[in-house]
Amino acid sequence: MACHWLPEKERGKLQTAALFGGELAPIISLAIGGYLGHYFGWESIFYLSGTLGIVWFFFWAALMKSYPDKCWLVSEAELEHIRKDAGNTANYDVSIVSSLSYV
């Protein structure tokens, strides 16, 4: 998806932010989970994480599109910037990447 949404020179920044967020989330959830478990019971940990996951899913499903030209939040200037520096995205075979499990 990044090959369609980001100029070629900015893709590394997105991957860094995504991987950093994936590592930061457990640290934050463990700290908050300890507090919630101590003061509100262990069930509150599951209620909060489940609620946040559901909210994130609806946010993502409503706002995220596979291509920037199909997203109503992208202006024409942004779309032109993405297209200008997109590089060669024709060689990306998404079916191969999506069929692999995350390792």
Cβ-contact 67, 4 below 8 angstroms: yes
Max Cα distance, the chain (Å): 53
pLDDT for position 83: 80
| Residue 103 covered by a domain | no
Rg (CA), the chain: 18
| Residue 99 covered by a domain | no
Secondary structure of residue 83 in the 3-state scheme? helix
| Residue 1 covered by a domain | no
Helix, strand, coil in percent for the chain, rounding step 5: 75, 0, 25
- d(Cα 71, Cα 65) in Å, to the nearest integer? 6
| Residue 49 covered by a domain | yes
Mean pLDDT, the chain, rounded, equals: 80
Q: Which domain holds residue 52?
A: 8-87
Percent of the chain with pLDDT strictly greater than 70: 82
> Based on the structure, what is the number of domains in the chain?
1
Give the C-alpha distances (Å, rounded to integers) separating 47 from 8, 16, 26, 52, 54. Answer: 40, 29, 16, 9, 11
| Residue 31 covered by a domain | yes
| Residue 62 covered by a domain | yes
pTM value is 0.61
| Residue 2 covered by a domain | no
Secondary structure of residue 74 in the 3-state scheme? coil
Is it the case that residue 26 has pLDDT exceeding 90? no
Q: Once rounded to an integer, what is the mean pLDDT over residues 72-88?
A: 79
Is it the case that residue 88 has pLDDT exceeding 60? no
| Residue 96 covered by a domain | no
pLDDT in tens, 45-75: 999 999 998 998 999 888 888 788 888 888 8
Bigger pLDDT: 66 or 99?
66
The residue type found at 61 is: A
